């Protein structure tokens, strides 16, 4: 069985929309694209480098289109990105010129992929796909970069369909610019109790 790892840059209020650039995703009138840029420093860069090791990718259609437009010409920044398998969840796309792209149509396709043999599978961006994965308890790890700002509006990491689930912190650090980097592993059901009892 393969692990599905969600990597996400989020704000304190959980917004994940368009972290990289102003024109990345302006849907819904979003005007804060590129909100990660002021927090990028050497420590942040080293974490990104570590997380960009070759692994198969599972992407939603919109994120795939952004990636396919950029990464084939910038493999020096993300070595191996062109060689790994890119699994794309889409009901409208069926092919791409970007090599090693495989198109999935349903939740059953994702479950079959997860139960196959191979490397860990990373999910970047892909808000709607992440909602589907969380709703169906298919996320094994969350690798979050939590930025010290709120945006109020925008697509959120935890939105419709997130189920009650416990996670264990497996690694964490804080960058000089105040970004909390926290990696969590799925850890069973939510436990409750009374504080101080």
Q: What is the mean pLDDT of the chain?
A: 94
**Structure confidence at residue 132 (pLDDT):** 95
Q: How far apart are CA 161 and CA 137, in angstroms?
A: 10
Beta strands 56-60 and 121-124, pairing class: parallel
pLDDT digits (tens, 9 = 90+) for 18-58: 999 999 999 999 999 999 999 999 999 999 888 888 899 99
Number of CB atoms found within 10 A of residue 81's CB: 21
The CA distances from residue 29 to 52, 61, 127, 153, 175, in Å, are: 30, 20, 17, 9, 30
Q: How far apart are CA 193 and CA 191, in angstroms?
A: 7
pLDDT digits (tens, 9 = 90+) for 155-184: 999 988 789 999 999 999 999 999 999 999
Q: Produce one character per residue of 140-163: b if its CB has 16 or more CB atoms within 10 Å, e if not.
A: bbbbbbbbeeebeebbbbeeeeee
**Structure confidence at residue 65 (pLDDT):** 93
**Structure confidence at residue 177 (pLDDT):** 96
What is the phi/psi pair of residue 101, to 5°?
-100, 130
CB 161 within 8 A of CB 114: no
**Max CA distance (Å), the chain:** 61
CB 170 within 8 A of CB 183: yes
Positive or negative torsion for Cα 161, 165, 170, 171? positive
Give the residue among 114, 115, 106, 19 at the shortest CA–CA distance from 63: 19
Q: What angle do CA 109, 110, 113 make, to 5 degrees?
A: 90
**Structure confidence at residue 53 (pLDDT):** 84
**Structure confidence at residue 129 (pLDDT):** 95
Give the residue among 135, 149, 129 at the shortest CA–CA distance from 7: 129
């Amino acid at each position: 069985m393969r692990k599905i790892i969600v990597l996400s840059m989020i704000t304190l209020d959980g917004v994940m929309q368009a972290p990289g650039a102003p024109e990345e995703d302006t849907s819904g009138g979003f005007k804060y694209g590129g909100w990660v840029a002021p927090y990028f420093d050497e420590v942040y860069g080293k974490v990104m480098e570590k997380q960009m090791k070759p692994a198969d990718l599972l992407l939603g259609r919109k994120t795939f289109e952004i990636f396919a437009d950029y990464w084939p010409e910038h493999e020096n920044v993300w070595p191996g990105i062109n060689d790994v398998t890119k699994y794309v969840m889409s009901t409208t796309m069926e092919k791409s010129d970007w090599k090693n792209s495989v198109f999935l149509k349903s939740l059953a396709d994702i479950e079959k992929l997860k139960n196959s043999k191979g490397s860990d599978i990373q999910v970047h961006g892909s808000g709607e796909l992440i909602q589907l994965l969380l709703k169906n308890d298919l996320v094994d790890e969350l690798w979050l970069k939590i930025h010290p700002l709120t945006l109020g509006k925008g697509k959120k990491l935890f939105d419709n369909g997130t189920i009650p689930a416990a996670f264990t912190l497996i690694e964490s650090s804080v960058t000089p610019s105040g970004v909390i980097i926290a990696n969590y592993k799925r850890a069973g059901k939510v436990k409750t109790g009374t504080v101080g009892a």
